[in-house]
């Protein structure tokens, strides 16, 4: 089995070292991926100076280029975001905007830089909206060149108008655990396949 790696972009609005439900769910997914021999790391984006824009490097102290290198060095990208007003966080939206630059970066065969990498998504929140956020993220990530595995998302929504966060739960809910297990298994399988046989090139 090829040695693969995953990088999780945690899009919480909470700076470290504050607790984060998005961070917890991302770490649980990375832990399950490790069962399939996939290494991983988590990057809390709000801890970095990521400039607005749609270029790979926006200059003037922009820290996205270093994060971009971590994505390029990995076969799997996980975006974990909280739900705010029914949408992904502004941090997640900025990550998508910065990834848009990869459509202009192509290899010798004409493939966009992220083609052949697998993307998965995790969403937490106290209100419904996870399906819409997953749909929005998957559409954008697929446009950029990522491949989406079957059942490639995990999410948890608390009671509407409630105040319990995912990290406040006494234990991981069984449905979430089962979903993560399926996500990890399918993601590892797809990443292995794409590593062995790349997409064909084009003009």
Query: 77-96 pLDDT, tens per residue?
Result: 999 999 998 999 999 999 99
pLDDT at 63: 98
pLDDT at 1: 46
pLDDT at 18: 97
Q: How confident is the model at residue 203 (pLDDT cuts 50, 70, 90)?
A: low
Vertex 58 angle, CA 55 and 62, to 5° = 130
pLDDT at 2: 53
Mean predicted lDDT score pLDDT of the chain: 95
Q: Give the CA dihedral 153, 159, 162, 168, nearest 10 degrees.
A: -60
Residue holding tokens 């990208």?
Answer: 77
Enter the tokens of residue 118.
């697998």
**For a pLDDT cut of 70, what percent of the chain falls above it?**
98
Please, are residues 122 and 30 in contact by the beta-carbon 8 Å criterion? no
Q: Write b or e for each residue in 50-85: b if 16 or more Cβ atoms lie within 10 A of its Cβ, otherwise e.
A: beebeebebeeebebeebbeebeebbbbbbbbbbbe
pLDDT at 174: 97
* Among 101, 104, 166, 103, CA closest to 130: 166
Task: Answer positive or negative: Cα dihedral of 138, 142, 145, 147.
Answer: positive
Spatial distance between the Cα atoms of 203 and 201, rounded to a whole number of angstroms = 7
- Which of 39-48, 106-115, 147-156 shows the lowest per-residue confidence on average (mean pLDDT)? 106-115
Spatial distance between the Cα atoms of 86 and 150, rounded to a whole number of angstroms = 24
SS3 202: coil
Single pTM value for the model: 0.95
* CA 21 to each of CA 33, 155, 168, 199: distance values in angstroms, whole numbers, following the listed order: 18, 11, 8, 35
Residue holding tokens 């956020």?
Answer: 133
Q: For 7-49, write each residue's pLDDT tens digit.
A: 999 999 999 999 999 999 999 999 999 999 999 999 999 999 9
Which uninterrupted H or E stretch holds 139? helix 130-144
């Amino acid at each position: 089995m090829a040695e693969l790696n995953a990088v999780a972009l945690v899009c919480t609005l909470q700076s470290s070292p504050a607790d984060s439900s998005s961070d917890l769910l991302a770490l649980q997914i990375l832990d399950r991926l490790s069962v399939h021999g996939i290494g991983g790391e988590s990057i809390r984006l709000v801890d970095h100076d990521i400039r607005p824009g749609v270029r790979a490097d926006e200059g003037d102290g922009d820290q996205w280029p270093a994060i971009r290198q971590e994505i390029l060095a990995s076969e799997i990208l996980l975006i974990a975001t909280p739900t705010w007003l029914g949408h992904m966080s502004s941090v997640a939206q900025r990550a998508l905007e910065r990834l848009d630059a990869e459509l202009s970066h192509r290899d010798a065969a004409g493939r966009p830089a992220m083609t052949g990498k697998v993307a998965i998504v995790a969403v937490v929140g106290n209100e419904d909206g996870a399906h819409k956020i997953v749909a929005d993220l998957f559409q954008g990530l697929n446009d950029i060149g990522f491949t989406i595995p079957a059942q490639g998302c995990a999410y948890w929504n608390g009671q509407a108008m409630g105040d319990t966060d995912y990290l406040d739960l006494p234990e991981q809910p069984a449905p979430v655990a089962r979903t993560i297990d399926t996500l990890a298994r399918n993601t590892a399988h797809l990443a292995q396949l794409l590593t062995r046989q790349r997409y064909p090139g084009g003009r």
